[in-house]
Amino acid sequence: MTLRSGVVGIWIIATGVMIAILYFGRSILAPFALAVFLFLIMEGFARVIDEQVHFLGRRISRAIAILLVLLGFGLFFALFAQGIAQFGEQASDYEQKINVLIADVYGVLRLDSAPTLTEIIFNETGQRFFATIANATGDLSGDLVVILIYVAFLFVAQSAWGQKLDRLFPITEQREQVREVGAAARRGIETYLWTQTVISALITVLTYFTLLVLGADNVLFLAALIFVLNYIPTIGSIVAAFVPTLFALVQPDLPAWLPATGENASYVFALFVFLGVSFWQFAIGNFVQPRIMGETLNLSALIVLLSLAIWGAIWGIPGMFLSAPLTVLMMILFAQSASTRWIAVLLSADGNPGGVVAKPANDDLVITAETSED
């Protein structure tokens, strides 16, 4: 009993120390983690290109993958900048609609003296809010540069990883076990990133055409925003459903097909937009995504939600984006030891995390591979 209490105490202390390191070192660790996952995306993409087009070679495939990923990021930022510029061109019209919306809310709540948008922005609370946004945007711009530098050095350093692994683990059995664990972790993270990209792209395309048919403004900008938000588990889907709705509420020029006219037209249009966007989020999020994620990642939905809250509290927005792949990595690593395997069992969806597990047999290290049961 005393020994078990000591082990529990060590686990509690070690967990607290690790959380403190992750929290206080988030300005360094979070960008580096993002760089690692971006590196894995590029390497996975390069591997697919190399397997499909054999004559290109690995170096050319890697160069094409890096170029395509960077072009994708550039396209997103271009759409984001274009969307902000388009909203800026209609700033006065949007301001009038927002002032009407604020007055309606105050009327429903039976409050007097409804403020205008200008008064809200330039009061003390508004200035603090926009100052926070400006600081976050500046930090993000700086982090992007650091992330790209990390990615470049990861590509440079990867050629020496094999030699370092041989020096760190001179025993063949240990070295092979580490290789298998690393390969399992890479496959798990790549699987999540690819499946999430496919799901986000599917939702984005369907939502784009839905908004286009409904007559929403700046559809490309909203679609790009929805694509990124869907990388955040659960919360991202909810925000992705409400963002186009809020823009629809203040859209200056409403489509002619609306059955309502006058002051209620904006609310009717926003309702149609909300239903259209929410339908795809609900349908794919509840029928397609659980099936794909359950079969490929074997992660518990409750654990995904808890990891979102925990990593979001530790690393903020980067932690929300990385919560699911980090949980996949933790499950794979915990499954490699008999003393920590129970954690991997709790993280998994079916209680069988699989992976490579080291077990003692005849005083030697024997490596066995477990597979998930269908």
Q: For residue 221, what pLDDT band results from cuts at 50, 70 and 90?
A: confident
What is the model's pLDDT at position 361?
Answer: 39
What is the separation of C-alpha 225 from the centre of its chain, rounded to a whole number of angstroms?
12
- C-beta separation of 151 from 39 below 8 A: yes
End-to-end C-alpha distance for the chain, whole angstroms: 38
Distance (Å, rounded) from C-alpha 131 to C-alpha 125? 10
Give the pLDDT mean for 75-93. 77
Alpha-carbon distances, residue 283 vs 127, 199, 220, 291 (angstroms)? 39, 11, 22, 12
- What is the phi/psi pair of residue 277, to 5°? -70, -40
How confident is the model over 142-151, as a mean pLDDT? 84
Is a pLDDT exceeding 60 seen at residue 224? yes
* More confident of the two residues 315 and 159: 315
Mean pLDDT of 183-195: 78
Which of residues 355 and 349 earns the better pLDDT score? 349
Which of the pair, 249 or 300, is modelled with greater confidence?
249
pLDDT at 357 over 60: no
Residue 28 has pLDDT above 60, yes or no: yes
Query: Is pLDDT at 189 greater than 70 in this prediction?
Result: yes
pLDDT > 70 in the chain, percent: 80
Query: Does residue 124 register a pLDDT over 90?
Result: no
For position 374, what pLDDT does the model report?
A: 38
Whether the predicted pLDDT of 117 surpasses 70: no
Q: Does pLDDT of 198 surpass 60?
A: yes
Q: Which residues, including other chains, have CB under 8 Å from residue 132's CB and lie 6 or more apart? A: none
CA atoms within 13 A on the CB side of 221: 15
For the residues 175-180, what does the mean pLDDT come to? 80
Strand pairing partners for 367? 358
Residue 150, CA distances (Å) to 35, 145, 214, 322 in order: 6, 9, 43, 17
The predicted model gives 13-19 an average pLDDT of 84
Give the integer Cα–Cα distance in Å for 281 and 241. Answer: 7
Residue 209: pLDDT band (50, 70, 90) is very high
Residue 55 has pLDDT above 80, yes or no: no
Between CA 278 and CA 199, with CA 233 as vertex, the angle to 5 degrees is: 65
Position 334 confidence tier, pLDDT thresholds 50, 70, 90: confident
Q: Which of 54, 35, 37, 30 is nearest to 150 (CA)?
A: 35
What span, in angstroms and rounded, lies between the C-alpha atoms of 82 and 49? 31
290 falls in which pLDDT band (50, 70, 90)? low
Per the listing, tokens 């971006």 go with: 38
Q: How confident is the model at residue 367 (pLDDT cuts 50, 70, 90)?
A: very low
Q: Nearest-CA neighbor of 196 among 76, 321, 74?
A: 321
